[in-house]
Structure 1
Amino acid sequence: MQIPIAVGAAAFFDPTKPIYDEENRYNGYWNWGIVQGAQADLATQNPLSLLYDRNNHGTTKRSLGNIQLDYKIHGLEDLHANLNLGYDVAKTTGRNFVNSNSVQSSLDKTFTGLGQGNTWNNLRRNHLLDFYMNYAKNIESIKSNFDIMAGYSWQHFYYANHDITYSNPTEDLGAKEGYTYDENERHYIRDDHRRIPYENYLISFFGRLNYNFMDRYLLTATLRRDGSSRFSANNRWGLFPSAALAWTISNEPFMKATENVLSKLKLRLGYGVTGQQEIGDYQYITSYSFSTNPNTTYLGTTLLKPNGYSPDLKWEQTTTYNVAIDFGFLNNRINGSIEYYQKHTKDLLNTISAATGTNFINLITANVGKMKNKGVEANVNAIAIQSKDFTWEVGYNITWNDSKITKLTTTFNPDYQGIDAGTNQKHQVGEMPGTFYLYQQVYDENGKPIQNAFVDRNNDGQITEADRYLTHKSPMAKVYMGFSSQFSYKKWDLGFNLRANFGNYVYNGVASGNSTSNNYGGKGFILKSASNLNGNLNCSKELEHYAS
């Protein structure tokens, strides 16, 4: 059922109009009819017609399973073999049919007034295999503890979907592109050729070493080699190391005198490289799509059209450095940490515009640019009250983060205009990701925006796309905060969490859409009058005034 759409239609439908139509137009439901020789496609539809002239439902069956085996090697009790097998399989079937002679079918450009619909079924599978060996040993003679692990991981993702479109046989549709008549089902059918599976594999070899000396000095080192089928054979594998050092200062003998007050003090240093491969499948090779739209066919022939691709796609990599201090007071009744970090990301995976004539489509996935993040994170937790039956715990955290794009092209180009990140946003060097890219508003002496008055930033005497500018305002927040409180009384618990962020901007599209110029832009005399003031009226939708 079209319940969300019908609810909106119920709110906007003309209350003076009847629910049912005595002339039995549109299956007996009253709806706006023909206006100037065409169906009134912008008018609000009868909400009951939306509900009962359509049959739309689907069913999903899902199964998840996991089994883990842990085997202690005979004669080497410190050595364990671990096998983890898992799966997640989901199958969805559904149908969406619209009754003939309904206003919904009348609005369809292919089967005007005819019943129509489609059925679909899709299958998703996720299979996982993890195997690793773990050796842990405590050597008292040298006051050391070792924990060594090495393993292999394999994961397979699969997706397939099949759609079939139907139309009622109320007229000869045999000539319509891509449709055939099914004698058994008495439907005209178009098979959308979508029974093409999408799949990808992720394979990893990994190892880890944990070393603890005297319960004061700790070392952790890891190494991963990950392979993804989403990249070509030359770029499929990535190497991702990491290392961390920690010094538990509070366990040193010279800290013994302060242990009743300063119960924990630890210094941590970290370095690590991670990879990112979350893009679509088959982005690095040439693929083809069936042409089912009449605009993409040639003389009634179904064609295979090539899709865009980037043969040199590779892993996006982020290198992180961090230094932190963990602390605890009064037997850790008050505890927390302060951490400074830097993240450097290179070979960013993004969707960009392809240069004219270099690819089959306008947008492709590619590795473009670099980005830098730096910031400080701090948190503190405390047990405010603790008694036999009642406990009150509170926690507070705050993060300051500064994010900047540092490179977008392979060579320095001061004239490069950045990458579009949406209708009103851009990625540009020196700016935060997704910075708003808008027209500059003109204000009166009282600080109020002047309707349809914009700054001609390039002084060419007219307002055009060239007058947009980077506002240095981004939807990414500079500061994040959180507060939690947990009460426990005997077997009863009560808690809440508060979150906040500061320094980010939101573009008010509703206010922009309801602006005077947008509401009346279609009126010819107002359009002419307003345009004579300061150029292009339509750009009022992308004003800096609405980014706040």
Structure 2
Amino acid sequence: YIRDGEGNVMYNEDGIKLYDYGNGDNAGMERSLFTNSNALSESRLNKQESEGNAFNGTAYFDVTFLKDFKFTFNAGVTLDEARSTIYYNPYFGQFVSEEGLLQKGHQRQLEYNTQQILNYTKQIGTHNINVMAGHEYYNSVVSVLSAGKSHMLTDDNDELAGAIIDKQSAASYRTEYNNEGYFARVMYDYENKYFFSASYRRDASSRFHTDHRWGNFWSLGGAWIISREGFMAGTEKWLDNLKLKASIGSQGNDNIGDFRYTDTYSINNANGEVSTVFKDKGSENITWETNSNFNAGVEFSFRQGLVSGGIEYFLRKTTDMLLAFPVPPSKGYSSYYANVGDMRNSGIEIELNFTPIRRENLVWDINLNMTHLRNKITMLPPERRNKQVEGYYGYVSGTSFYGEGLPMYTFYMKKYAGVSEDGKSMWYMDETDGKGNPTGKRVTTTEFAKASDYLCGDPIPDLYGGFGTSFSYRGFDLSVAFTYQIGGLAYDSGYAAAMYSPA
């Protein structure tokens, strides 16, 4: 608050406490950061709220015919609407000169999904067969409307009719996304011990150009329940289940937003005439990002569930990664989406469960899971390798360097070098000779702008997971869960911004 010479909070002519906005009103005191703002007044005098409604509905029917065939039709619809209000008070802050600001918004999202599935199920002795084929279609339509006005009559009328100056910010737009796919699957097991499955999908996404819209994805899997073999006889007293499993397959990703395959423009007012202004650069050749996965592991359970869990090795190869590729601002745009290369993730997952007490009315469970992950970019096409950093070839995007042989999102920024003898912060920089050529040596500087950028590690931890415990007694239950991470780096940009010298 703004206080008088005796430390008392001061009030304005309307009887409202005066807040310190760091703009000189408080005895001439100014802030170099967050000027004309006050978190307390914003939480008390401003508001951001929304109200809405949602509807979810599903329907289906089954038709069984020829004894072993069943046709299923599934349909689902989701409707989500929200009406938002943003109010900035007319007394304090950045909108005092406009005597308050009101913004209204409305968003409506309608989704529906349909499936037509044909199943064939047959049991022949100890052989079990299931064959499934189907078609799926998904559609999503988002409609958005917004407007704003300033110069409010009173602060208790938060409708646009309560303000008089149109901010010329009224806008609305509509986006639509479609996804269609055909799929098939075969499942087989013998004597409930040996399991096999295979699947195939062909999907199309409206987020890609019509020439690159379809993608093909598949999977193979198998499992062997060893504990059901004859040579395991006699282990039933202490071994509940022992299973070996493995699978390999691929799946697609199109999560990049709409219209990335074409140039987009904004329609603007040019002195009363319609004009178009370039907005985003499109890339016609982008297509599905493909994730190929291999998993192999073992599941086990002992002593009627006293101890259970599993160990699994995974290897995921991502090809045709979809990322925003940066370009020089001189081109008129900052980036465009492209299939920029390949990446590999590999590691081990372990899950353990222990039930020390299992009674009729009391159950106590303890659980632990852990994942060790290693990530590496394995390939970038030549046009993406436009920079060499410390022996790696790739490109820079923001504070990350994407290079072959490096983990994804490797930090690329100025490296802190400690404090100088006179108490100033230092950073490393590449030494240059009189002609400006690098000498290969690193020196320090107290001028941040002169510091060089270096590879500074990555955010991927060496080990992460969770652990917890739960109790259940006569219908009452209590659980506690924890997550942990060992290793990995994080960059606190907010703290870094707040710590810079205002001089």
Is the structural similarity TM-score above 0.5?
Answer: yes
2:102 corresponds to 1:149: no
2:103 corresponds to 1:130: no
* 1:14/1:225 CA distance change after superposition, 3 Å: farther
Equivalent runs, 1:309-388 vs 2, <5 Å: 309-354=282-327, 360-388=332-360
2:462 corresponds to 1:485: no
For 1:356-401, what per-residue CA distance to the aligned partner results, in whole angstroms no more than 9, with x for missing partners? 666x521222221211111011122232222333222222222111
* 1:452/1:224 CA distance change after superposition, 3 Å: same
* 1:306/1:263 CA distance change after superposition, 3 Å: same
2:226–2:242: 8 Å Cα contact kept in structure 1? yes
Q: Any idea what SS the aligned residue of 1:457 has?
A: strand
Letter in 2 for 1:326: E
What is the TM-score when the length of structure 1 is the normalising length? 0.76
Letter in 2 for 1:215: N
Equivalent runs, 1:75-224 vs 2, <5 Å: 76-98=66-88, 103-106=93-96, 112-140=97-125, 143-168=126-151, 187-192=164-169, 194-224=171-201
Following superposition, the deviation at residue 280 of structure 1 comes to 1.1
* CA–CA distance in structure 2, aligned partners of residues 331 and 372 of structure 1: 38
Following superposition, the deviation at residue 61 of structure 1 comes to 2.0
Letter in 1 for 2:290: Q
Match of 1:415 in 2: 387
Letter in 1 for 2:58: N
Equivalent runs, 1:8-27 vs 2, <5 Å: 16=7, 18-22=9-13
* CA–CA distance in structure 2, aligned partners of residues 102 and 329 of structure 1: 67
Letter in 1 for 2:135: Y
* CA–CA distance in structure 2, aligned partners of residues 273 and 353 of structure 1: 28
For 1:127-155, what per-residue CA distance to the aligned partner results, in whole angstroms no more than 9, with x for missing partners? 11122122222111xx2001111111111
1:439–1:455: 8 Å Cα contact kept in structure 2? yes
* CA–CA distance in structure 2, aligned partners of residues 103 and 255 of structure 1: 76
* 1:14/1:474 CA distance change after superposition, 3 Å: farther
Structure 1: runs of 5 or more not aligned: 1-9, 107-111, 171-181, 292-296, 524-548
2:225 corresponds to 1:248: yes
Following superposition, the deviation at residue 459 of structure 1 comes to 4.3
Following superposition, the deviation at residue 480 of structure 1 comes to 1.4
What is the TM-score when the length of structure 2 is the normalising length? 0.83
Percent of pairs with identical residues: 24
Following superposition, the deviation at residue 276 of structure 1 comes to 0.5
* 1:450/1:329 CA distance change after superposition, 3 Å: farther
Richer in strand (by share): 2
Match of 1:42 in 2: 35
* CA–CA distance in structure 2, aligned partners of residues 353 and 166 of structure 1: 37
For 1:339-367, what per-residue CA distance to the aligned partner results, in whole angstroms no more than 9, with x for missing partners? 11111101111122135666x52122222
Richer in helix (by share): 1
2:149–2:163: 8 Å Cα contact kept in structure 1? no
2:365–2:471: 8 Å Cα contact kept in structure 1? yes
* CA–CA distance in structure 1, aligned partners of residues 177 and 39 of structure 2: 45
* CA–CA distance in structure 1, aligned partners of residues 422 and 220 of structure 2: 54
Structure 2: runs of 5 or more not aligned: 154-159, 434-442
Following superposition, the deviation at residue 220 of structure 1 comes to 0.8
For 1:168-221, what per-residue CA distance to the aligned partner results, in whole angstroms no more than 9, with x for missing partners? 499xxxxxxxxxxx9x99844355463221111011111111100122211011
* 1:213/1:455 CA distance change after superposition, 3 Å: same
* CA–CA distance in structure 2, aligned partners of residues 355 and 46 of structure 1: 37
* 1:245/1:195 CA distance change after superposition, 3 Å: same
Match of 2:415 in 1: 440
* CA–CA distance in structure 1, aligned partners of residues 218 and 168 of structure 2: 48
Number of residue pairs matched? 472
1:115–1:168: 8 Å Cα contact kept in structure 2? yes
Q: Any idea what SS the aligned residue of 1:234 has?
A: helix
1:102–1:113: 8 Å Cα contact kept in structure 2? no
* 1:159/1:420 CA distance change after superposition, 3 Å: farther
**Which of 357, 362, 373 is 1:390 aligned to?**
362
Q: Any idea what SS the aligned residue of 2:263 has?
A: coil
Following superposition, the deviation at residue 100 of structure 1 comes to 5.3
